[in-house]
Structure 1
Amino acid sequence: QEKHVSMVHIESRKSKRRNSEVEIFVDCDCSKKEFNELIQLLKFQTNIVSLNPPENIWTDEEGKDDLDCVPWFPRKISELDRCSQRVLMYGSELDADHPGFKDNVYRQRRKYFVDVAMSYKYGQPIPRVEYTAEEIKTWGVVFRELTKLYPTHACHEYLKNFPLLTKYCGYREDNVPQLEDVSVFLKERSGFTVRPVAGYLSPRDFLAGLAYRVFHCTQYIRHGSDPLYTPEPDTCHELLGHVPLLADPKFAQFSQEIGLASLGASDEDVQKLATCYFFTIEFGLCKQEGQLRAYGAGLLSSIGELKHALSDKANVKTFDPKTTCLQECLITTFQEAYFVSESFEEAKEKMRDFAKSINRPFSVYFNPYTQSIEILKDTRSIENVVQDLRSDLNT
């Protein structure tokens, strides 16, 4: 996972040379650069007698844009299938302190959601889930308590889109919306879509999805023993926290630009971008009509922290990516600081300036027609994009 190499298949057998040795065959999905890094790691960290890497298997496309010096990233939207498979923590593998750890029925249910997500491929309709009575009850508690707070705590853009989700996607206390319906709705509103994911992705893989206006979304629901708490993102968090704002074109653009800035960036720069994402899209505040309002999904899906963040007890600072990226992200407690922007537009402009500091041997452009990433590394490639944009403006 650290080297971003997906293991497709593995076999082992006794060596024909010596009984104490084992021959292992591994089929990997990776770039030439990632493969070479993995080979070096294996040589230093394992007892390998001999190593026989394949030859002449790399396509010409591997090096055509001279990208071997940067971490792999998806060049077309279908390659997000590879990103979504690299789950750091599966949804069925619960920690001992998780509310559902001792509930075997819940654990089996979580395994079902993992199987659905891991089987999903780009272009397929998202499988519809028949939620249990217990799951609908848990969703209902969260829905009911949060909707009491939204009129006084959520930003205008959120409040504008929520009734539309009720009308077109079945946002109700007695119904858990289906991701396929949500994805179709978002596509029409802002160009975003969602796709199921089995659990946590690395910041690099998650941000890569945003570059394509794709949001990786869990389908499982938190354990019913404590509906107002979850140690991980669940579908209540995704649908109530993220989706209403992803339907806003300006917010969608802001989200995509963070994703685009991450493509090919170093691990250090990706971590900085992920931290800025955390304190904006997850826990961000904005000013509207002289009042603080929440636009971060982590706040809009947490009753306790939503109240806290807009209270006098919260430590609120002005959003500045250069300093915000140094703030510690807290998962199991309230944040020690929250960051406020005047508007999404202001936050986007600040992130654009911050992205200029990322050391990358190229720039990127998202082609909405082919849903692919174009590399801008010389005058000719930039001129081609400019010509396309001029053509769009003149028609």
Structure 2
Amino acid sequence: MIDCTLATSGRPSIALLSHSFDNNVRTRSTMATIVNSTSNSIPSMQSRYRMNTYLDVPLDGKGKFYLIITLKEGVSKLIASLKIFEAHKVNVVHIESRPSRKEGCYDFLIECNGMKEQCDTIFNMLHSIADRVSVQSFGPERACRDAVPWFPQKIKDLDLFADRILTYGAELDADHPGFKDEVYRQRRKIFADIAHNYRHGQPIPRVEYTEEETKTWATVYRELKQLYPTHACREFNHIFPLLEQNCGYSENAIPQLQDVSEFLRECSGFTVRPVAGLLSSRDFLAGLAFRVFHTTQYIRHSSSPKYTPEPDVCHELLGHVPLFADPEFAQFSQEIGLCSLGAPDEVIQKLATLYWFTVEFGVCQQNGQRKAYGAGLLSSFGELQYCLTDEPKVLPFDPEVTATAEYPITSYQPLYFLAESFHSAKERLRNWALSIPRAFNFRYDPYTQRVELLDNAEILSRFVHDIRNDLHLVENSLKKIDVHTEMDGKDNYER
């Protein structure tokens, strides 16, 4: 058992679910497309590039099919549904589940291979068992230069996927510390409902944490605060007292997300929004592109204050939030998010790995000493001490190497990547991003909170105009500084 380390390993069960950093991004993005296409809620891309999920609908022949069915709670319904696939000799290759919006039901995403006629037959037969059935069929992957995965173009688009969690939320695995605690499960449902109902622009609902939850927070808070001065990077130690002054950080109370979000907005433009559990890599990284960090509100079970199998409010508020207030780190995090927009699945996997070894488990060099800046370290008093010893291997941060490194998710890291500084890491990431196979670049507009594709002369002309205005402001400011410097020099000479 490890203390406070973010452990997110998958567990085999009939409900096959993936981690936030999974290798099954294509399946998740496909489910996202299916879910949202039924409500026509995804905006089309106003560009010469087509939004796509890499896969085109076949006219005939054998292909890959995705169905979403809603079943009442109980194993018998699922077994009956799967027997239909078996009877028609359709190969089921993947199943995912999640709690349905309909009370007492679950939604199942089923990926299968078969003929279009078989899919039509199964679709009709499932109606006799399921409360709801929707289907979308896809054919073989096609190389298409102008086809890219869907991605959010404005900050409000995050509402379209923020409640599509992969694991946990209100549902817990049998080996979760709180699985048998009915009171804890009910609390998790309250937090999940807050996240599911939240929409961009709304104030984040305030939560009245119980005495038991606050005691768990206090245990973690006290232990970590003792280590921060000697183990955390200087930027973290500069910001943490400001959080105590402005956001109510203390061992006596769990801070409210709305207060934290307002503080971050003033410091770096970052905000937080509640989420019920783990998002897919693509969805989570897309939030960072808009300087939005998806944050859980629930806390780990009181029986295991030193361990959490998932990110909780201790990990988010103590590990992540402080450095999101640092402008340089905020920019670095957003760069990772921007790199993910429209990127192929294999790039998403590399970006998720880069995120793991930097934002989650990054170390840096300061005054000749190794210091921690990753949230997984800063929220784990065991690994925070371990990472600065001689036991783990430490390599220089090189995105090309880091992006393909392997790592465990249920034990201390045997390998860390050392950054010279946040600025250095950001520049290295930018250089690495040039190799991402995209036919366009992005520009984030902080005024409209949109991402703009730099894919035609008109847009580039506006971009250049904005740069010229900024340079003009810099030039005038430098002239004023020179004048004031000259006047100060004369005053000193006369004295």
1:161 aligns with 239
2:64 aligns with 41
1:164–1:67 CA distance, 2 compared to 1 (3 A): farther
Q: Is the 8 A contact 1:94 1:100 kept in 2?
A: yes
For each residue in 1:69-122, what CA deviation from the matched residue of structure 2 results, as whole angstroms up to 9, or x when unmatched?
Answer: 000000000001112122112412212221111111111111111110010000
Q: Is the 8 A contact 1:90 1:114 kept in 2?
A: no
1:91–1:127 CA distance, 2 compared to 1 (3 A): same
1:138–1:37 CA distance, 2 compared to 1 (3 A): farther
- Could you say which structure has the larger radius of gyration? 2
Q: Is the 8 A contact 1:6 1:86 kept in 2?
A: no
Runs of 5+ unmatched residues, structure 2: 1-27, 45-50, 67-112, 125-143, 474-495
Offset, 1:303? 0.8
Amino acid at match of 1:363: N
Match 1:260 to one of 329, 335, 338: 338
1:360–1:35 CA distance, 2 compared to 1 (3 A): closer
Query: Is 1:287 matched up with 2:370?
Result: no
1:113–1:391 CA distance, 2 compared to 1 (3 A): same
Q: Is the 8 A contact 2:167 2:278 kept in 1?
A: yes
Query: Is 1:361 matched up with 2:361?
Result: no
In structure 2, how many angstroms separate the alpha carbons of the residues matched to 1:35 and 1:244? Answer: 38
1:5 aligns with 33
In structure 1, how many angstroms separate the alpha carbons of the residues matched to 2:56 and 2:241? Answer: 50
For each residue in 1:161-185, what CA deviation from the matched residue of structure 2 results, as whole angstroms up to 9, or x when unmatched?
Answer: 0000000000000100000000000
1:354–1:174 CA distance, 2 compared to 1 (3 A): same
Amino acid at match of 1:225: S
Correspondence list, 1:320-331, <5 A:
320-331=398-409
SS state at 1:359 partner: coil
Correspondence list, 1:178-257, <5 A:
178-257=256-335
Q: Is the 8 A contact 1:125 1:180 kept in 2?
A: yes
Q: Is the 8 A contact 1:250 1:344 kept in 2?
A: yes
Which is further off, 232-241 or 83-92?
A: 83-92
Correspondence list, 1:35-114, <5 A:
37=56, 41-42=64-65, 44-45=113-114, 47-49=119-121, 69-114=147-192
2:87 aligns with none
SS state at 1:199 partner: coil
In structure 1, how many angstroms separate the alpha carbons of the residues matched to 2:257 and 2:34? Answer: 26
In structure 2, how many angstroms separate the alpha carbons of the residues matched to 1:134 and 1:37? Answer: 52
Offset, 1:393? 3.4
Q: Is the 8 A contact 2:148 2:343 kept in 1?
A: yes
Offset, 1:67? 9.7
In structure 2, how many angstroms separate the alpha carbons of the residues matched to 1:110 and 1:309? Answer: 32
Amino acid at match of 2:120: I
Over aligned residues, Cα RMSD in angstroms? 2.3
SS state at 1:349 partner: helix
In structure 1, how many angstroms separate the alpha carbons of the residues matched to 2:220 and 2:57? Answer: 44
Offset, 1:383? 2.3
Query: Is 1:388 matched up with 2:416?
Result: no
SS state at 2:347 partner: helix
Q: Is the 8 A contact 2:54 2:148 kept in 1?
A: no
Amino acid at match of 2:207: V
Offset, 1:335? 1.2
For each residue in 1:331-388, what CA deviation from the matched residue of structure 2 results, as whole angstroms up to 9, or x when unmatched?
Answer: 2111121110110011001100110010001000001111101001233322221211
Offset, 1:29? 4.6
1:123 aligns with 201
1:198–1:38 CA distance, 2 compared to 1 (3 A): farther
Offset, 1:394? 2.5
SS state at 1:75 partner: coil
Q: Is the 8 A contact 1:284 1:339 kept in 2?
A: yes
Task: Give the structure-1-normalised TM-score.
Answer: 0.88
Match 2:425 to one of 347, 361, 371: 347
Greater RCO, 1 or 2 (C-alpha within 8 Å, sep 6+): 2
Task: Give the structure-2-normalised TM-score.
Answer: 0.71
Query: Is 1:134 matched up with 2:157?
Result: no
Offset, 1:50? 9.8
SS state at 1:137 partner: helix
In structure 2, how many angstroms separate the alpha carbons of the residues matched to 1:33 and 1:356? Answer: 22
Q: Is the 8 A contact 1:286 1:294 kept in 2?
A: yes
Q: Is the 8 A contact 2:218 2:251 kept in 1?
A: yes
Offset, 1:47? 2.7
In structure 1, how many angstroms separate the alpha carbons of the residues matched to 2:221 and 2:40? Answer: 43
Query: Percent of counterpart pairs with the same letter?
Result: 58
Moved over 3 A (4+): 26-41, 43-46, 49-52
